[in-house]
């Protein structure tokens, strides 16, 4: 099983700040990594797939990078609605796994 | 409207069984690989099981292998998860999910609202 480790667990930030979230995988997943956003009481929303492709309707302030074992989700300037938990997920091989999440809070 | 709607959750005793359903609408269900993901109370996302449209799979997380069975009825546009020998740590909201538009296989841009399964005496 590929283990996804997200860091930090929690980030305390202010609107307008730049955010960089990390996801490291225990073995290479090539570029087969996605990022999701989940707000309290809501279902997860796909932000980025295959490391760097924005999903439909996702604002340009969200970007993804990385390959192999190290990946980054960047939010260029935090909006109030971006405070949420962010998860990474790979699809390199079975079983699929998710990271433990990073909470971005005010 | 494009949507997934789960049902079948509830309270069940340890060792009991439940069958979850996920009904799809607004897209080609028969051509869509489908997945169950769960989220325990206050916890993160956990992949449970996936079923493809072809002959490969289905696939299960080790934590549910041998206890859960995923299946589909394309004529009814419905995905199922038969859950047996339920344990307290199976308590979670169960989501069905799929790739709908911009995405790659086994990434999920369409999710249902989830159904709560509580395993307790």
Q: Give the pLDDT of residue B20.
A: 98
Q: Give the pLDDT of residue B104.
A: 83
Whether B113 and A43 lie within 8 Å, measured CB to CB: yes
* Confidence label for B105 from pLDDT (cuts 50, 70 and 90): confident
Q: Give the pLDDT of residue A20.
A: 96
Which of A46, A56, A100 shows the shortest C-beta gap to B107?
A: A46
Report how far residue B57's alpha carbon sits from residue B78's, in angstroms, rounded to the nearest whole number. 18
Which token pair is A61? Answer: 């302030």
CB A5 within 8 A of CB A24: yes
Q: Give the pLDDT of residue B57.
A: 82
Whether B36 contacts chain A with CB within 8 A: no
Mutate to test the interface with B, among A94, A99, A100 (most CBs of B within 10 A): A94
Strands B59-60 and B45-51: antiparallel
Q: Is the pLDDT of residue B110 over 90?
A: yes
Long-range contacts of A66-69 (CB under 8 A, 24+ apart): A66/A23, A66/A31, A66/A33, A67/A30, A67/A31, A68/A25, A68/A28, A68/A29, A68/A30, A69/A24, A69/A25, A69/A26, A69/A27, A69/A28, A69/A29
Higher-pLDDT residue of A61, A106: A61
Cβ contacts of A85 on chain B, cutoff 8 Å: 44
pLDDT tens, residue by residue, B4-16: 999 999 999 999 9
Q: Is the pLDDT of residue B103 over 80?
A: no
Whether B112 and A43 lie within 8 Å, measured CB to CB: yes
B93-116 average pLDDT score: 93
User: Over pLDDT 70: what percentage of chain A?
Assistant: 100
pLDDT tens, residue by residue, B64-87: 999 999 999 999 999 999 999 999
Name which of B13, B33, B118, B15 is nearest B79 in CA terms: B33
Find where tokens 């309290």 sit: A40
Which of B44, B101, B106 shows the shortest C-beta gap to A96?
A: B106
pLDDT tens, residue by residue, B11-56: 999 999 999 999 999 999 999 999 999 999 999 999 999 999 877 7
CB B102 within 8 A of CB A49: yes
Q: Number of A to B CB contacts under 8 A, please give it.
A: 68
Q: Is the pLDDT of residue A57 over 90?
A: yes
pLDDT tens, residue by residue, A58-87: 999 999 999 999 999 999 999 999 999 999
């Amino acid at each position: 099983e590929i283990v996804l480790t997200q860091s930090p667990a929690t980030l305390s930030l202010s609107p307008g700040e730049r955010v960089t979230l990390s996801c490291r995988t225990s073995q290479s997943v090539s570029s087969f990594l996605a990022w999701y956003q989940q707000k309290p009481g809501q279902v997860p929303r796909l932000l980025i797939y295959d490391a760097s492709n924005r999903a439909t309707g996702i604002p340009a302030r969200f970007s993804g990078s990385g390959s192999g074992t190290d990946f980054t989700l960047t939010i260029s300037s935090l909006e109030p609605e971006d405070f949420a938990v962010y998860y990474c997920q790979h699809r390199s091989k079975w079983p699929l796994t998710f990271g433990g999440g990073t909470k971005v809070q005010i | 409207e494009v949507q997934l709607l789960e049902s079948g959750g509830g309270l069940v005793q340890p060792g009991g069984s439940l069958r979850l359903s996920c009904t799809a609408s607004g897209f080609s269900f028969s051509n869509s690989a489908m997945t169950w993901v769960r989220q325990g109370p206050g916890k993160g996302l956990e992949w449970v099981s996936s079923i493809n449209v072809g002959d490969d799979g289905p696939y299960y997380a080790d934590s549910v292998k041998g206890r859960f069975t995923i299946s589909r009825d394309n004529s009814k546009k419905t995905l199922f998860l038969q859950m047996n020998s339920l344990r307290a740590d199976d308590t979670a909201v169960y989501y069905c999910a799929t790739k709908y538009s911009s995405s790659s296989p086994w990434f999920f841009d369409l999710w249902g609202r989830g159904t709560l399964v509580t395993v307790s005496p």
